[in-house]
Amino acid sequence: MDTTQAQTPQTGAQPTAGLDRGLASITHVLACVDRSVLSESCVPYAVFLAKVFGAKLTLLHVLDLPGGSSGLPVSEALGWEISRHEAQAYLDRLARAAEDAGVPATTLIAEGHPAASIVTVGREVGADVTVLGSHGEGGRTRWALGGTASQVLSSSGGSVLVARSSPTVLADFEPKTIVVPLDGSTRAESVLPSVVRIAKKYQSAVTLAHVVIEPVANAILVAGEDLEHARGLARRLEINAERYLAQVGAQLSREIQGVRTLVFRSKDERQALIELSERESADLIVLSAHGATCNVGRPLGTVAGYMVMLARPALLVLQDLPQRDEATEGGEPAVDHYAPPLRGAVHARPTGAP
């Protein structure tokens, strides 16, 4: 394990993508709440993103269809209307709090299945990042994510920020320590311009981390010459990774202070990054949805998916792939089993609207 302040890299380090080739800027943030304190925990994180990027903020609440956990029979039209007005009053309160924090907010009410509606609304309004609490009205369970958050993450295909839900809502969120996993790919590096903007805003310390997989003897990699060769390769990769991170860190240090680089070996890359974030007392982890081994058929790569499920800090996953085309090559609409069209109306109004 080697922790260093970023320094000028040695001659021969491989070039990086640079800070001018990152993801498109965040212009619209969608925060999703279900009127529970646990889901409301995500709002300060949405306000934080809107402040950093000067983005528009929309607060969304989904009313379950009849038969859902909180839905009312359609025949009870009066009760349904009362429920909608209560939801609007709730959103208006959150919007006023966001405005007090310096971020004007628009409110939206959708009717339908929560996860499918969140995904659909996000696409319809052009949200760049969807912000979710890890749990909502269902309460905390033995699972790291609640059902709605899990379904949204598995189907949205966009950038997401997952805030760990708490019974106490933060007044604001100001990350002081950010961990950024890098695997040497330009996909992983694409988050760096966003990291710089966040760190500049809050004078955050940034740790750039890379994990070298430690070879383990097994029935295929048997002890002896093969295992020694594998361990020798791991040592070379560790040296190369240190040079690589030194170069990336030097680039970032021209823009922000407090950049550190960390290269270490582990048998389990994903768990090692989780443990690192805990040792570093990270407030925020920022990473690309995919890395060097990118499966375009999945919204999240294996590392991002694992960390979303288990990491304790807030996690900002920036999507490096374009949104999936909704039409097939033959011109017929593709069937989206995760995000059917909304049933019912979408009601939108800006803060302070009558």
Provide the pLDDT for residue 142.
42
Asked if the model's pLDDT at residue 317 lies above 50, the reply is: yes
Sequence ranges of the domains in the chain: 2-20+174-295+305-310, 28-168+335-350
| Sequence-separated contacts (24+) of 141-147 with Cβ below 8 Å | 144/309, 144/310, 145/308, 145/309, 147/115
Asked if the model's pLDDT at residue 274 lies above 90, the reply is: yes
Provide the pLDDT for residue 160.
92
Provide the pLDDT for residue 158.
87
Provide the pLDDT for residue 95.
96
Answer whether CATH 3.40.50.620 is correct for domain 28-168+335-350: yes
The structural architecture, per CATH, of the domain 2-20+174-295+305-310 is 3-Layer(aba) Sandwich (3.40)
Provide the pLDDT for residue 222.
81
Domains 2-20+174-295+305-310 and 28-168+335-350 share a fold: yes
The mean pLDDT of the chain is 81
Provide the pLDDT for residue 84.
87
| Residue 286, strand partner residues | 316
pLDDT digits (tens, 9 = 90+) for 89-125: 999 999 999 999 999 999 999 988 888 999 999 999 9
Asked if the model's pLDDT at residue 173 lies above 80, the reply is: yes
Provide the pLDDT for residue 15.
43
Residues with Cβ within 8 Å of residue 300, at least 6 apart in sequence: 153, 289, 290, 308, 317
> What is the DSSP secondary-structure string of 282-322?
-SEEEEES--SS--TTSSS-HHHHHHHHH-SSEEEEE--SP
Asked if the model's pLDDT at residue 127 lies above 60, the reply is: yes
Question: One-letter amino acid identity for 172?
Answer: D
Q: Please, what sign has the CA dihedral across residues 84, 89, 92, 97?
A: negative
Residue recorded with tokens 């995904």: 119
